[in-house]
């Protein structure tokens, strides 16, 4: 008897959930992955464990903002506007003005 394995196609529910995860994580859902139930399941599992990409994740924390404003008052400087839109820039500004 010949041993052949056939890949089962992905279910519509799987594809819908994978597309929702791809949108949430701002990533592409590869076409090859959509063709096989097992590979799509593995892709879904990997994507579900990722933290969603959000606009709030890039913003500086309230503690960062308060500390930067306190430093700005002491140094008699203004915190640049772009620092309020990116936590990395805010961190660099704080480190440069301590």
Helix (H), strand (E), coil (C) string for 1-46 = CCCCCCCCCCCHHHHHHHHHHHHHHCCCCCHHHHCCHHHHHHHHHH
Residue 21 CA, distance from chain mean position: 11
- Computed over every residue of the chain, the mean pLDDT equals 88
Q: What is the pLDDT of residue 26?
A: 84
Q: What is the pLDDT of residues 16-34, one digit of tens each?
A: 999 999 888 888 999 999 9
**pTM across the whole model:** 0.52
């Amino acid at each position: 008897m010949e041993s052949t394995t056939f890949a089962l196609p992905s279910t519509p529910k799987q594809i819908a959930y994978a597309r929702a995860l791809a949108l949430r994580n701002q990533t592409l859902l590869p076409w090859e992955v959509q063709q096989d139930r097992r590979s799509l399941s593995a892709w879904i599992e990997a994507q579900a464990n990722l933290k969603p990409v959000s606009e709030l994740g890039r913003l500086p924390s309230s503690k960062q903002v308060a500390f930067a404003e306190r430093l700005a008052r002491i140094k008699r400087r203004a915190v640049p506007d772009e620092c309020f839109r990116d936590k990395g820039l805010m961190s660099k500004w704080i480190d440069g003005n301590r």
